[in-house]
Amino acid sequence: MKILHTSDWHIGRTLYGRKRYDEFASFLLWLAETIRREQVDALLVAGDVFDTSTPSNRAQELYYRFLCRVAASSCRHVIIIAGNHDSPSFLNAPKELLRALNVHVIGAVTENLEDEVLLLSNQQGAPELIVCAVPYLRDRDIRVAEAGESIEDKERKLIDGIRSHYSEVAALAEQKRKNLGVRIPIIATGHLFTAGGQTVDGDGVRELYVGSLAHVTSGIFPACIDYLALGHLHVPQKVNGSEVMRYSGSPLPMGFGEARQEKSVCLVEFAGGEASVKLAGVPVFQRLERIRGSWEEISAMILELSATQCRAWLEVVYEGEEVIGDLRERLEAAVSGTEMEILRVKNNRIIDRVLKQIHDDETLDDLNINDVFERCLSVHDVPEEQRPELLRAYQETVTSLYEDDTRAE
Q: Are 368 and 391 in contact (CB under 8 A)?
A: no
CB within 8 Å of 13: residues ≥ 6 apart = 20, 51, 204, 254
80-90 confidence digits (pLDDT tens): 999 999 999 99
**Dihedrals phi, psi of 193, to nearest 5 degrees:** -115, 115
Which H/E stretch holds residue 89? helix 88-92
Which of 181, 70, 171 lies closest to 126, judged by CA?
181
CA 114 remoteness from chain centre: 29
Q: What is the pLDDT of residue 393?
A: 82
Listed as ranges, residues in the chain with pLDDT below 70 are: 145-146, 148-149, 201-214, 349-367, 379, 401-409
Residue positions counted in the chain: 409
Q: Percent of the chain at pLDDT above 70?
A: 88
118-152 confidence digits (pLDDT tens): 999 998 989 999 999 999 998 888 777 667 667 77
- Paired with 3 in beta bridges are 42, 268
Q: Are 230 and 192 in contact (CB under 8 A)?
A: yes
324-338 confidence digits (pLDDT tens): 878 899 999 999 999
Which amino acid is it at 240? N
CA 214 remoteness from chain centre: 18
pTM of the model as a whole? 0.82
Q: What is the pLDDT of residue 408?
A: 47
The DSSP secondary-structure symbol of 284 reads: P
Mean pLDDT, all residues of the chain: 87
Which H/E stretch holds residue 100? none
Angle between helices 21-37 and 57-71 (to 10 degrees): 10
Which of 29, 40, 24 lies closest to 79, judged by CA?
40
Q: Are 332 and 363 in contact (CB under 8 A)?
A: no
* Cα–Cα distance for residue pair 180/80, rounded to 1 Å: 25
User: In what order do the strands lie in the sheet containing 313-318?
Assistant: 288-293, 313-318, 341-347
Complete domains list, the chain, with CATH = 2-281 (3.60.21.10), 288-408 (3.30.160.720)
Q: What is the pLDDT of residue 349?
A: 65
DSSP 169-236: HHHHHHHHHHHHTS---EEEEEE--BTT----TTS----SBTTB--PBPGGGS-TT-SEEEEES-SS-
73 by DSSP, 3-state: which? coil
Which amino acid is it at 255? G
